[in-house]
Amino acid sequence: MLARASAERTAKRVEAAMAVDQARMEAARISMSRIIGNVKNEEIEVQQAVAELQKAQSELNNDPLMKLFNMKQGGVVKQGAFVGAMLFGFRSAIETVAMLGLDGESHSTAALIQGALALSCALYFFVF
Protein backbone atom coordinates (compact mmCIF):
# COMPACT_ATOMS: atom_id res chain seq x y z
CA MET A 1 0.00 0.00 0.00
CA LEU A 2 2.82 2.35 0.85
CA ALA A 3 4.57 1.58 -2.42
CA ARG A 4 1.35 2.11 -4.29
CA ALA A 5 0.78 5.55 -2.68
CA SER A 6 4.37 6.51 -3.43
CA ALA A 7 3.97 5.40 -7.04
CA GLU A 8 0.74 7.40 -7.37
CA ARG A 9 2.40 10.53 -5.96
CA THR A 10 5.32 10.09 -8.32
CA ALA A 11 2.95 9.56 -11.25
CA LYS A 12 1.02 12.72 -10.32
CA ARG A 13 4.25 14.71 -10.09
CA VAL A 14 5.40 13.37 -13.46
CA GLU A 15 1.98 14.17 -14.97
CA ALA A 16 2.10 17.70 -13.54
CA ALA A 17 5.64 18.19 -14.85
CA MET A 18 4.54 16.89 -18.27
CA ALA A 19 1.56 19.26 -18.26
CA VAL A 20 3.86 22.17 -17.45
CA ASP A 21 6.27 21.08 -20.18
CA GLN A 22 3.38 20.75 -22.64
CA ALA A 23 2.16 24.25 -21.74
CA ARG A 24 5.70 25.57 -22.29
CA MET A 25 5.93 23.76 -25.61
CA GLU A 26 2.58 25.21 -26.73
CA ALA A 27 3.65 28.73 -25.69
CA ALA A 28 6.94 28.28 -27.57
CA ARG A 29 5.07 27.02 -30.65
CA ILE A 30 2.75 30.04 -30.58
CA SER A 31 5.70 32.37 -30.10
CA MET A 32 7.59 30.76 -32.98
CA SER A 33 4.60 31.00 -35.32
CA ARG A 34 4.24 34.68 -34.40
CA ILE A 35 7.95 35.28 -35.07
CA ILE A 36 7.74 33.46 -38.41
CA GLY A 37 4.74 35.61 -39.36
CA ASN A 38 6.67 38.76 -38.45
CA VAL A 39 9.66 37.61 -40.49
CA LYS A 40 7.45 36.97 -43.52
CA ASN A 41 5.89 40.43 -43.19
CA GLU A 42 9.31 42.04 -42.87
CA GLU A 43 10.54 40.09 -45.90
CA ILE A 44 7.63 41.42 -47.97
CA GLU A 45 8.35 44.98 -46.82
CA VAL A 46 12.05 44.60 -47.67
CA GLN A 47 11.21 43.26 -51.14
CA GLN A 48 8.89 46.24 -51.72
CA ALA A 49 11.58 48.65 -50.54
CA VAL A 50 14.16 47.03 -52.85
CA ALA A 51 11.74 47.31 -55.79
CA GLU A 52 11.14 51.00 -54.99
CA LEU A 53 14.88 51.64 -54.76
CA GLN A 54 15.50 49.93 -58.09
CA LYS A 55 12.75 52.01 -59.70
CA ALA A 56 14.19 55.22 -58.23
CA GLN A 57 17.68 54.26 -59.39
CA SER A 58 16.39 53.56 -62.89
CA GLU A 59 14.62 56.93 -63.00
CA LEU A 60 17.74 58.64 -61.70
CA ASN A 61 19.95 56.97 -64.31
CA ASN A 62 17.61 58.15 -67.08
CA ASP A 63 17.73 61.78 -65.89
CA PRO A 64 19.66 63.96 -68.39
CA LEU A 65 21.47 65.81 -65.60
CA MET A 66 22.67 62.54 -64.10
CA LYS A 67 23.95 61.52 -67.52
CA LEU A 68 25.89 64.76 -67.57
CA PHE A 69 27.36 64.17 -64.10
CA ASN A 70 28.12 60.48 -64.75
CA MET A 71 30.27 60.89 -67.84
CA LYS A 72 32.83 58.36 -66.62
CA GLN A 73 30.28 55.55 -66.82
CA GLY A 74 29.27 56.56 -70.34
CA GLY A 75 32.61 55.70 -71.85
CA VAL A 76 34.86 57.47 -74.31
CA VAL A 77 32.22 57.83 -77.02
CA LYS A 78 29.80 59.59 -74.66
CA GLN A 79 32.53 61.86 -73.39
CA GLY A 80 33.51 62.67 -76.96
CA ALA A 81 29.90 63.45 -77.86
CA PHE A 82 29.65 65.84 -74.91
CA VAL A 83 32.91 67.58 -75.76
CA GLY A 84 31.89 67.78 -79.43
CA ALA A 85 28.54 69.31 -78.52
CA MET A 86 30.22 71.93 -76.33
CA LEU A 87 32.99 72.80 -78.79
CA PHE A 88 30.83 72.87 -81.93
CA GLY A 89 28.11 74.77 -80.05
CA PHE A 90 30.58 77.38 -78.91
CA ARG A 91 32.10 77.67 -82.41
CA SER A 92 28.64 77.95 -83.96
CA ALA A 93 27.76 80.77 -81.56
CA ILE A 94 30.98 82.60 -82.44
CA GLU A 95 30.33 82.17 -86.18
CA THR A 96 26.76 83.42 -85.69
CA VAL A 97 28.05 86.56 -83.97
CA ALA A 98 30.63 86.97 -86.74
CA MET A 99 27.80 86.98 -89.28
CA LEU A 100 26.79 90.39 -87.90
CA GLY A 101 30.12 91.91 -88.89
CA LEU A 102 31.70 92.56 -92.24
CA ASP A 103 31.54 89.73 -94.76
CA GLY A 104 28.85 88.00 -92.70
CA GLU A 105 27.72 85.68 -95.46
CA SER A 106 31.00 83.77 -95.40
CA HIS A 107 30.34 82.81 -91.76
CA SER A 108 26.76 81.56 -92.27
CA THR A 109 27.70 78.20 -93.76
CA ALA A 110 30.25 77.52 -91.03
CA ALA A 111 27.74 78.51 -88.35
CA LEU A 112 25.09 76.23 -89.85
CA ILE A 113 27.41 73.22 -90.19
CA GLN A 114 28.89 73.61 -86.72
CA GLY A 115 25.44 74.10 -85.22
CA ALA A 116 24.22 70.89 -86.88
CA LEU A 117 27.28 69.01 -85.59
CA ALA A 118 26.72 70.37 -82.09
CA LEU A 119 23.08 69.34 -82.21
CA SER A 120 23.89 65.83 -83.43
CA CYS A 121 26.56 65.38 -80.72
CA ALA A 122 24.15 66.60 -78.04
CA LEU A 123 21.42 64.33 -79.36
CA TYR A 124 23.75 61.33 -79.23
CA PHE A 125 24.88 62.23 -75.71
CA PHE A 126 21.41 62.62 -74.23
CA VAL A 127 19.56 59.88 -76.13
CA PHE A 128 22.02 56.99 -76.24
User: Can you give the pLDDT at residue 87?
Assistant: 96
Region at 101 (left for phi over 0; alpha for psi -120 to 50; beta for the rest): beta
pTM beyond 0.75, yes or no: no
- Closest among 104, 109, 68 to 86, alpha carbons compared: 68
User: Can you give the pLDDT at residue 52?
Assistant: 94
Q: Where are the domains of the chain?
A: 1-62, 63-127
Distance CA 33, CA 79 (A): 56
pLDDT tens for the chain, 128 residues: list them.
777 778 788 888 888 889 888 989 999 999 999 999 999 999 999 999 999 999 988 887 777 777 666 777 778 888 899 999 999 999 999 999 988 888 878 888 889 999 999 999 999 988 87
User: Can you give the pLDDT at residue 113?
Assistant: 94
Please give the biggest Cα pair distance in the chain.
134
User: Can you give the pLDDT at residue 48?
Assistant: 95
User: Can you give the pLDDT at residue 8?
Assistant: 83
Contacts of residue 115, defined as CB under 8 A and 6 or more positions apart, other chains included, come to: 88, 89, 92, 96
User: Can you give the pLDDT at residue 118?
Assistant: 96
